[in-house]
Amino acid sequence: MVAILILTILFILALPPLFFIPLVLCRIHRICVILAAKIFQRGKLLHILHDMSTLFDAGPTFTRKAMTIVTILEVNSSRFDIEKLRKNFEFKREFPKLDFTNPENLSKLYNYASHGRVWQKDSPLWEFLLVENVDTPRGGGRTFLIWRCAHVLCDGRSVFKLVRKLFDDAIDTLPVPTTVERKNSGGSSLSKVSKFLRLPYAIVEYVVNVEFDNTRVPQQYFHLEKDSCDIFSMTTNSLSMADLKRIKNAYRVDFITLLLAGVAAGIRDAYLKRGLKIDTHIKVAFILPAKNHRDVLMNHLTTGAILLPIGEEDSVKRLLLIRNRVAAFRSSGIPEILNWYYNLLGSLPLPILKKLIQYQPEATVMVNNIFGHEEKLYLHGDEVNVPFTGVNIAVAENSGYAYDVRFYPYDGAGYLGVSGFDEYFSNVDDTSKYLDNCISEWNNLSNLVFASSKETSMESMQIKCM
């Protein structure tokens, strides 16, 4: 018994160095790959992408399942001079003119832009599409400018930096907004050393308890086996960012926590529709921007996941549980390790990488808090609307992935959107109901926290679509 105890203690003491040795070796390997690319003149004898971009290149780039980033801009056709942009961009007109006041047609446009068009070899992995003189919820005679690019080129922050250069505003001097609310790491040197030593165990616990969790959103609809799935998308009308921030501040949570609380309500409704007992938790992933993003096109991000406590009945308790789990994840050091891990994977040869990513566990829901501009933008003097921004989710079809929830701010308003497979949504009405559940959860949290306030009327604190 004593011998077993001694061996256990020795194993625990040896775990940190055993854990970091392979990481250091992979780091050295990545440096060697980069040096080789420089020596052999990359693009001639050895072609290499940024290491994390290689992860996206490992996917099926030239198929319907390509990782594609899409941003749709809407302007007034009568005041928009396309010739001013034609000097620098080649526009393609291939999507038919439809009545886009109909949400079904908007969903078709989103699907066409995200996965209906397939990237071609020996052609650029970015493009502008143009849909002119159409009717939208904002009026007639509108034009859609659709920016598409393969995720292999860049991430959302790079897209934000690039696309904003199109506009009239002198916004290059404005700070780029961040979705990460960082607190002073502080702490003594001893606490930092202790955190470093605990990191291997934290990673093992995270992988075993979170990453390998296979709880799934229950399917609502069942279909015969088919080659591809239909996708339905919807974006709300603008929501008041001021009201959302008041709720966030009242509960002392960060914004991703508030978004996850809305997502939890939407997932709970999927169980209730089927008359199923709600699971205690479900794995939900989210994107976090990594530190020190350079001012170039690149992929520099990290991901995270928590077990969303959907089994908790009380909205406030559920929100606080989410807050604690998000805070624990951010302070654990795992986000930085995951960023490093993705870079290390990207240094591997593509055949090996493609084999490895087949075994990466997937979440059933992804939440994206996307960069947006806080001020209204103008293109050649015309106000710009942003009805859609997101990423192609067809890459995850037939894998247990249910839907992607996205939120982006613009001009003092917030836009909540969702895209989901046809096992979970049968039409855009289902997507609209899902978004309504998210907003209802925020209104409920607002009612609970401000119920006893004499200074704030309940009507003014309702999250309304503007």
Domain boundary among 135, 166, 197: 166
Whether 226 and 367 share a structural domain = yes
Instruction: Give 171-217 pLDDT, tens digit per residue.
Output: 444 444 444 444 444 456 777 777 777 788 888 889 889 999 999 99
DSSP state of 120: -
Whether 338 and 439 share a structural domain = yes
Instruction: Compute the distance between CA of residue 37 and CA of residue 464 in angstroms, rounded to an integer.
Output: 53
Residue 175 belongs to a domain:
no
CA distances from 130 to 91, 147, 148 (A): 6, 9, 11
Q: Which of 129, 123, 120 is nearest to 71 (CA)?
A: 129
Whether 134 and 222 share a structural domain = no
Whether 204 and 111 share a structural domain = no
Whether 249 and 112 share a structural domain = no
What pLDDT score was predicted for residue 360?
75
Whether 202 and 256 share a structural domain = yes
Q: Which domain holds residue 364?
A: 189-461
Residue 8 belongs to a domain:
no
Whether 220 and 266 share a structural domain = yes
Residue 256 belongs to a domain:
yes
Distance of CA 108 to the CA centre of its chain: 21
Whether 223 and 289 share a structural domain = yes
Residue 4 belongs to a domain:
no
Q: Which of 289, 112, 287, 284 is nearest to 211 (CA)?
A: 284
Number of domains present in the structure of the chain: 3
What pLDDT score was predicted for residue 17?
61
Instruction: Compute the distance between CA of residue 403 and CA of residue 236 in angstroms, rounded to an integer.
Output: 16
Whether 258 and 355 share a structural domain = yes
Instruction: Compute the distance between CA of residue 175 and CA of residue 194 in angstroms, rounded to an integer.
Output: 35
What pLDDT score was predicted for residue 406?
95
Angle at 308 between CA 307 and CA 312, to 5 degrees: 120
Those residues of the chain that have pLDDT short of 70 are 1-23, 26-27, 30, 37, 40-49, 85, 87-90, 93, 163-164, 166, 168-188, 224-227, 451-466
Residue 77 belongs to a domain:
yes
Instruction: Compute the distance between CA of residue 279 and CA of residue 441 in angstroms, rounded to an integer.
Output: 18
Whether 219 and 86 share a structural domain = no
Residue 196 belongs to a domain:
yes
Residue 143 belongs to a domain:
yes
Q: Which of helix, strand or coil describes residue 420?
A: strand
Q: Which CATH number do you get for residue 409?
A: 3.30.559.30
Distance of CA 335 to the CA centre of its chain: 15
Q: Which of 299, 418, 327 is nearest to 366 (CA)?
A: 418
Whether 379 and 409 share a structural domain = yes
Whether 278 and 401 share a structural domain = yes
Residue 144 belongs to a domain:
yes
